[in-house]
Amino acid sequence: MNTTVGPYELVRLIASGGQGQVYLGYDARLCRQVAIKIRPLPEGRAMRRTVMREARLVASLNDERIVKIFDVIETPAHLALVMAYVPGTDLEHLLGHVSLSLASTLKLACDVAVALAAASQIGLVHGDIKASNVLVSEAGGICLADFGTAAIPSSPEAALAGGSLSALAPEHVLGEPVDLRTDLFALGRLLHRMLTGEHAFPMTLQAAERALAASRYELPALTEWESHSGHPPALAALVRRLLQAEPARRPQDTHLVRRELRTLRLECSLLSEPGLQAQAAPYFRPESATEEPLDIPDEFGQISGRRRAGMELRSLWRQRMPVSGAARAALALMLVGGMAGIMWWTRPAQSVIEVDLADIEISPSAVSVLRVTADDVLGLVSRELEQRLPGVRLLGAARPSVIYGDGDLPLPAAAKLSVQLRCGDDFCLLVMQRGLLPGEHRVQRLLVADAAPERWSDEIRQMVVAVYPAE
């Protein structure tokens, strides 16, 4: 039985649905877990090109609220998307066990809206905003998964087969084009379910088609929810605007939606309600193997990445190298000797810096506007250190560095670089300190909370230059 997809080893099945299966995988090259979704490819080269284009678009997204795509593996009949693995649970599973607090509901809705805003900046429509595609991490964060469904034209019947009836919009029923407003309609449906515990529309295909084709919608469960004291009328009003039958009458972008959700979150922060992480923790997915067999198409295991690369190199060798065996042997010795000499003379110095993420403090309101994550900041610091100090080896919170040289020689003691990140409602304070003594090569920068990633990159570059001046 095949248990590999290219260079990735499959561990267990996570979920299965009408559009494919999702597996927990392991990348031995980078020593990390990954999630691998295997889905059948549509027929026709034009549709396949569309799917691949969507996959490349999703891979270009860099937002902590969107599951990152690392790799795409294509076979004649299937497509495997290799993604970041998010331990925790999904919203569908969570809603089956607990009624979310208002604070948890608003955090979820706000983070989904921010993810949609990031996708809309590159013209990407999700097309399937449903509870099972909203992942809740073990830290209580939100990740939106399974982008690109809109790349494949679907009828209501196809939506039903994919388990996406809860994300249907009037545009799907009427066969009209979908856009960001379609995703906002689905967000309204998701909000309605989190608030009331009930779906806004029937969950059978024929009844859903009739309901969604109406010119206006009655939402009795939302009306009942709104009648209870302590439930903000502004939130019910927002849900009704999101669930307008005509796209022109819905919010036209995410800006106003996010602003209203942030305002409601600030108001609800005064309430003593359990947060999302506390409510979700008892229902996190067990991190253990399953007895369910791994049913992987054999075509994925036929040629691994390493074997394929070896075949290509051998083919090139046969085409370009001399025919004589003696000549080949002599040329091989020359190449090996030359490479060894180059590695010896150009090996980098083994200076070592331990990067310590000393302090992270981000206010709830800043989470919804920040355009970089703590991991992004560390990645930028690592990049600038490697460019500023060629040959440096990074340890600690920074990404590990690969160095060449005498691996059995002891490394020198690591120098310390402390990084602190504190974000309030409007501003972020970033601090770097080299060494342990107060004031020793210490710099700090104040940035607006929604500063562009390019601005963060420029500021971090200047800070690294200040902390490690030319000697």
Q: What is the mean pLDDT of residues 213-236?
A: 88
Higher pLDDT, 137 or 441: 137
Q: Tens digit of pLDDT for each residue in 55-101?
A: 787 888 888 899 999 988 888 888 888 999 999 999 999 999 999 99
User: What's the pLDDT score for residue 50?
Assistant: 77
Q: What is the mean pLDDT of residues 299-311?
A: 50
Six-digit token pair at 466? 């200040």
User: What's the pLDDT score for residue 157?
Assistant: 46
15-29, 352-366, 376-390, 451-465: least confident range: 352-366
Q: Tens digit of pLDDT for each residue in 88-146?
A: 999 999 999 999 999 999 999 999 999 999 988 888 888 889 999 999 999 899 999 98
pLDDT at 417 over 90: no
User: What's the pLDDT score for residue 236?
Assistant: 94
27-41, 323-337, 346-360, 368-382: least confident range: 323-337
pLDDT at 293 over 70: no
- What CA–CA distance (Å, rounded) separates 192 from 218? 12
Domains of the chain: 1-85 (3.30.200.20), 88-283 (1.10.510.10), 309-345 (no CATH), 352-467 (3.40.50)
User: What's the pLDDT score for residue 300?
Assistant: 67
The percentage of residues in the chain with a pLDDT greater than 70, rounded to a whole number, is 76
Question: How crowded is the C-beta side of 7, counted as CA atoms within 13 Å?
Answer: 15
Amino acid at the residue 86: V
- What CA–CA distance (Å, rounded) separates 468 from 471? 8
Q: Tens digit of pLDDT for each residue in 421-436?
A: 888 877 888 888 887 6
- What CA–CA distance (Å, rounded) separates 95 from 438? 49
Q: What is the mean pLDDT of residues 49-54?
A: 79
Higher pLDDT, 344 or 209: 209
Contact 156, 209 (CB under 8 A): yes
Q: What is the mean pLDDT of the chain?
A: 78
pTM of the shown model: 0.62
pLDDT at 210 over 90: no
Residue 104, by phi and psi: left (phi above 0), alpha (psi -120 to 50) or beta? Answer: alpha
Q: Which residues of 213-223 are buried (b: 16+ CB within 10 A; e: fewer)?
A: eeeeeebebbe
DSSP string, 169-196: -HHHHHT----HHHHHHHHHHHHHHHHH
pLDDT at 467 over 70: yes
- What CA–CA distance (Å, rounded) separates 156 from 212? 11
The percentage of residues in the chain with a pLDDT greater than 90, rounded to a whole number, is 27
Residue 191: which of 108, 255, 121, 135 has the closest Cα?
108
Q: Tens digit of pLDDT for each residue in 307-338?
A: 444 444 444 444 554 545 555 556 556 655 55
User: What's the pLDDT score for residue 19?
Assistant: 72
CA distances 243 to 11, 188, 202, 223, 236, Å, are 41, 6, 14, 14, 11
User: What's the pLDDT score for residue 436?
Assistant: 61
Active-site choice (90, 128, 146, 183): 128
- What CA–CA distance (Å, rounded) separates 464 from 449? 21
pLDDT at 150 over 50: no
DSSP string, 248-269: GGS-SSHHHHHHHHHHHHHHHT
Q: Tens digit of pLDDT for each residue in 364-396?
A: 777 778 888 877 888 888 888 888 888 777 776
Which pLDDT band holds residue 266 (cuts at 50, 70, 90)? confident
Does residue 111 carry a catalytic annotation? no
Q: What is the mean pLDDT of residues 147-173?
A: 62
